[in-house]
Structure 1
Amino acid sequence: MKPVILCDLDGVVWLAHRPIPGSSEAVARLRHGGHRVLFVTNNSSATVATQEQALAAVGIDARGDVVTSAMSGAHVLAHGERVLICGGPGIHEAVAMVGAEVVSHDDVDRGARVDTVLVGFHRDFDYEIMRRASGAVRSGARLVGTNDDATYPTPDGPIPGGGSILAAISTAAGRSPVVTGKPYSPMADVVRAVEPMVDATAVMVGDRPSTDGAFATTLGCRYALVRSGVTPADLSVDDDPAWFEGSTAWLDVADLAAVARVVLGG
């Protein structure tokens, strides 16, 4: 079997669902060359079906090939665990799939018990959500984040990401979170459950060394850094060593199309 290609979405395939030129064609070429392509994203907000539909809209059939950080967050839950969700529909979907019980924010205000507060990116985050979540954690609930990415790439530049929301709740609660998405081991467990053939020959393609590059290290595979997302084209290790810490790039190129050319030998 040809090496598995693991692709981040934001900053690799698209920016806020606006396709990066050549990305869909690169996926098609890799698949035609015999490589399975999985899409491994720290975006926990959307459901898997929504992600698949968005990929179909840019010309990529991704049915059965999407792994989200919502899935990694649900991976650490037990059946029947009582969960307060601070996140989008993707987390609700993943929590339901593992048989955990969602506790509503209104029920928290009425004193309901919470075992775990599960946090991901959502645009309606506000003070009241932070108050309920941090209060539940101070009362003994576990704090779990689907990712700790401080920013999220868009065509107009980075915006606050799920990690910024998680940091706010963590600070208010005075507790450190368990983080499950890239680059952490729960996400690696989910990826290997979907594709057991992920091994040292696999390639993780991503735009953020601290997340995608470190995830390649967690998986024990190769890392291809692309400069189409949050890592500027002219940024070097000498300029900002901390930005590249924890990762070693097997390949450092402009975009996914360039990765496909190297993997396929031109």
Structure 2
Amino acid sequence: MRIEPVSIDRIETVLCDLDGVVWLAHEPIPGSVEAIAALRAAGRRVVFVTNNSAAMIAEHEASLEAIGIPAVGEVISSAVAAALLVEPGERVLVTGGPGVVEAVEASGAIAVVNDGTVDGRNGGFDAVLVGLHRDFDYQRLAAAAAAIHSGARLVGTNSDSTYPTPRGLEPGGGSILAAVATAGDAVPTIAGKPHAPMARAIAQHLSTDEAPFDPATAVMVGDRPETDGLMAVRIGCRFALVRSGVNGPVNDLAGLDGLVIDFDLPDLAALAALLLA
């Protein structure tokens, strides 16, 4: 449900996608570093909300620090959201990167890395958790599918079929998830933007003992209407579409129920200029 937003000068929190907004393959988009510094200097909180599940949180933070953006304690990944879908003590076959393993173990579940030699048969797993995995191959696909056919539920960190890089679009975690879902004949539960587990992770991160997160005072910034835009719809905040990542026409919003593009801008620097005018 969309909550009636406050005036633009009362936006307190900027929920900022990474790929296509802050950087392209860790190469900063011109003006993004300065924009974040200016927003923070003016008292806005900037929190990074990414569907990139491969890296551990400390790696995300270190990569941001390397381009001049302090980010300790301010990164929420789809791996963190996915870990909300497993229970302590469950055995989880992780077909994903170190970030997924980290999040699963932090939840109290048992992470078993799918290296292609794991026997997924005989009901040994409660869940198969899939994220971006650059070593993904046929053997890993077979192990994941076998676990699903033996009763494990399928969880995906995100459904992004691609992600932007300076070289163009490359396959995303959603492409791997689609392969596992097809081979396992299963419908996955998806954790990352724009789904409910990510909304829960954002609310938990931004709420305090004194006050819950107020989406009316937030804006979600991203380059994908189907993920970042619908994330804004789900949590009830404003949406700023930036054209610095995955670019495409957005005139046809069929299937994007409730989406309102509050700001359509070239990049994060333009949004900062608007908010700080």
SS at match of 2:216: coil
Q: What is the letter of the counterpart of residue 56 of structure 2?
A: T
SS at match of 2:165: coil
Question: What's the counterpart of residue 81 of structure 1?
Answer: 90
Pick closer, same or farther for the CA change 1:246–1:231 going to 2, 3 Å.
Answer: farther
Task: Describe the superposition over 1:28-79 as per-residue Cα deviations: whole angstroms up to 9, x where unpaired.
Answer: 0100111100000000000000000000011000000000000001011100
TM value normalised by structure 1? 0.94
Pick closer, same or farther for the CA change 1:242–1:159 going to 2, 3 Å.
Answer: farther
Deviates more, 1:95-104 or 1:77-86: 95-104
CA shift, 1:201, in A, is 2.3
Pick closer, same or farther for the CA change 1:104–1:55 going to 2, 3 Å.
Answer: closer
Residue identity over aligned pairs, in percent, reads 54
Q: What is the letter of the counterpart of residue 35 of structure 1?
A: R
Question: What's the counterpart of residue 103 of structure 1?
Answer: 112
Pick closer, same or farther for the CA change 1:41–1:139 going to 2, 3 Å.
Answer: same
2:123–2:150 contact (8 Å) kept in structure 1: no
RMSD between aligned alpha carbons?
1.6
Question: What's the counterpart of residue 183 of structure 2?
Answer: 172
1:153–1:159 contact (8 Å) kept in structure 2: yes
Question: What's the counterpart of residue 241 of structure 2?
Answer: 225
Which residues of 2 match residues 141-220 of structure 1 at below 5 A? 141-196=152-207, 197-220=213-236
SS at match of 1:223: strand
TM value normalised by structure 2? 0.90
Which runs of 5 or more structure 2 residues have no equivalent in the other structure? 1-9, 208-212
Pick closer, same or farther for the CA change 1:64–1:170 going to 2, 3 Å.
Answer: same
Task: Describe the superposition over 1:236-257 as per-residue Cα deviations: whole angstroms up to 9, x where unpaired.
Answer: 41xx545966522100000000
1:82–1:116 contact (8 Å) kept in structure 2: yes
Pick closer, same or farther for the CA change 1:137–1:109 going to 2, 3 Å.
Answer: closer
Question: What's the counterpart of residue 264 of structure 1?
Answer: 276
Equivalent of residue 29 in structure 1, options 27, 32, 38: 38
Which runs of 5 or more structure 1 residues have no equivalent in the other structure? none
Question: What's the counterpart of residue 5 of structure 2?
Answer: none
CA shift, 1:198, in A, is 3.9
The structure 1 segments of at least 4 consecutive aligned residues displaced by more than 3 Å after TM superposition are 104-107, 109-112, 240-246
1:207–1:230 contact (8 Å) kept in structure 2: yes
Task: Describe the superposition over 1:141-170 as per-residue Cα deviations: whole angstroms up to 9, x where unpaired.
Answer: 000000000101101111110000000000
